[in-house]
Structure 1
Amino acid sequence: MGLDILSYDFMKNAMLAGFLASLMCGVMGTFVVTKRLVFISGGISHAAFGGLGLFFMLGLSPILGAYAVAVIASLILGYYKPSKINSQDAYIGILWSVGMAAGILMISLSPQSYTPNLMSYLFGNILMVRPEDLIWMSILTVSVLIIIFGFFKYFLSIAFDEEFAQLQDIPVRLFRMILFVLTGLTIVTLIQVVGIILVIALLTIPPLLSMIFLNDFRRVLLFSVLISIFLTQSGIILSFYLDLSAGPVIILLGAMILFGTYLLKRNNKLVK
């Protein structure tokens, strides 16, 4: 327990990656929960695995393939109203399954001499983040935040009431597609932290916790970022000392806090 974890370069990289991912997670997760895009986000994350497998089979960077497919899927889904997509939940479920199946199949059929550890993609491996990955994550994080806060009132409008936003002459479809793309980019970034299987949990737990305490959207967003930072940093530190995988530790820590908070609220010991 006396070890200074920051003396290890891989731990520095992991904690910085967790911090960057938390900024995106807290912001985009708040929009995902508010606009009820959780199931759709799950479809995007699993479809991205198909792109990951395709690019690996072609000898290209797998994570770039995940980004490419996530963006394409986000643009297609963002073109339609969420209410229409949610009414076709069976198709999202098919997208969910086909993306995973295609990714696994293409990785297994790859002519390359080695096969990547699927567990690192399914459950994340933040300790393997490289300095060049941090540069890419930094660029993405800054870009996402600039776009969101640069057009914040437009995204806020379509998050709560698209019909009213349409009456205000806001190009709803355009900003909805942008919101979906930003969500897709965030999802793939989080895959490197907690993996495809757990990404939706990390995207939703911080906003749900924030909404227990707060009602104002801006405050929920800020609190979600802070909670995301706490969960990722605490999870990484715990996983180091307990010699466990960081992704599951991060999610289980968040789930326990969320469950405990709900219990306190139910017993009238926590006032919203």
Structure 2
Amino acid sequence: MNRNRINVFLVVAIISLSCEIIGKVQLGKVALFPMLFAVVIGILLTPDLLGKRIGKLKAIIGEKEMKIAGDMVMLILLMLGIKLGTFVGPNLDKIVQAGPAFLAQEFGHVLAPLIAIPLALKLGLTRESIGAGSSISREASLGVIGEKYGIASPEGNGVLGVYLAGTIVGTVFFGVLGSVAIYTGIHPLALAMACGVGSGSMMTAAASSLAEAAGPKYADQVFAYASTSNMLSGITGVNILVFISLPFTEWYYKKLAPKFIKKEVR
């Protein structure tokens, strides 16, 4: 094991132990879990933030370490997926009963462009809005957009920008949202299904705080519904993106773009 890998494992171990020692922090009705603290600390330690100001820190967490950490994410998420799968089995009968609801929620992918495209155009994006607004922009969406337009294209820049924003900010935002959403009066299992639209880390953060807020009666079912929803978002969501959402986004963009930008729309 080379020095860069040792640095990554050492820093991750220190962050993880520190956050576990801090434990869950309750701010009124909002529960903040160690995972959220770990994400924030990890962001702060990157070369673009504290690494610029602390020279010795950059020697430990540099670009090579960042690359190794990025490659390790998929492996860790695989382990996370296996653990979450253990919640699905015992609750399989309840999940089967809710089957039509799981399938129906996938059509929510079509609603995203209705809001996202006008907002993106208003903020000054052009073709980038197609990549940014056609989906939830997770790993599968990167593949679809990258294959059709090229990851270095404006559309590729759009989907990559939303993907990075979701990875960096989404976990923290989802973790807080999971605690707050329970007080809307929406059924905990409906909220659990909504937890599954993001990446594995975003889903885990949201489901953990939601399960805590919902109480032991729904805790296991929350993780089961969130895990199943996340799996379906990755499988059926890709097909909806390719055959429905992305073509609709292209058409919608061409209709709206002349109202927001002066140059010719291709």
Name the TM-score, length of structure 1 as normaliser.
Answer: 0.31
Name the TM-score, length of structure 2 as normaliser.
Answer: 0.31
Q: Which has more radius of gyration?
A: 2
